Amino acid sequence: MEVQLDPKQFERWERIDGVIYDMTPSPSTEHQRIVGRLFRDISGYLKGKTCECFTAPFDVYLDGDKSGNYVQPDITVVCDPSKLRPHGCVGVPDMVVEVLSPATAYKDKTVKLRAYKAAGVREYWIVDPHHQIVEVYRLTDTNVFPTVHNKDETVTVSIFEGLDIDLRDIF
């Protein structure tokens, strides 16, 4: 017996400032490979600690449930367990990572950057698989410019003492 799948059940959406964003098509293999490697390194470091790491699809309601806005970052780190609910994170996560895809790059670098900064996310990484760089935004700083790291560097996660990610292992 052949199983019939409804394509709509695989659709993913985000709502930012009341605007609905389609998250399709699905990420590429390379995108998922990078997400998996970063998740491995971050979650391994967090093992036994209060903070937890989640991969998309995982809904994050930056302003609580007030507006109905939510995002689905590639990787979300939450250090306050009271923000975790069965349907995702209600409140501001501590760290967010977005891996760029052609369909989402502009939104990740503009709309989401503004939303994460306004909400108070402490650290935001934009990973560019094509150029093999990582832009690190420390959003609690007054400096609005990222620190850019290339594929041959090691990046220190500023919000966690001792968490260094060797980008040679990511790209």
- Distance from C-alpha of 139 to C-alpha of 119, rounded to nearest angstrom: 10
Burial 56-91 (b: 16+ CB within 10 A, else e): bebbbbbeeeeeebbbbbbbbbbbeeebeeeebbbb
Q: What pLDDT does residue 24 have?
A: 63
DSSP state of 144: -
DSSP state of 64: T
- Distance from C-alpha of 110 to C-alpha of 116, rounded to nearest angstrom: 10
pTM, entire model: 0.88
Instruction: Give the percent of the chain with pLDDT over 90.
Output: 73
pLDDT per residue as tens digits for the range 116-152: 999 999 999 999 999 999 999 998 877 778 999 999 9
Taking 50 as the pLDDT cut, the residues of the chain under it are 1, 3, 5-10
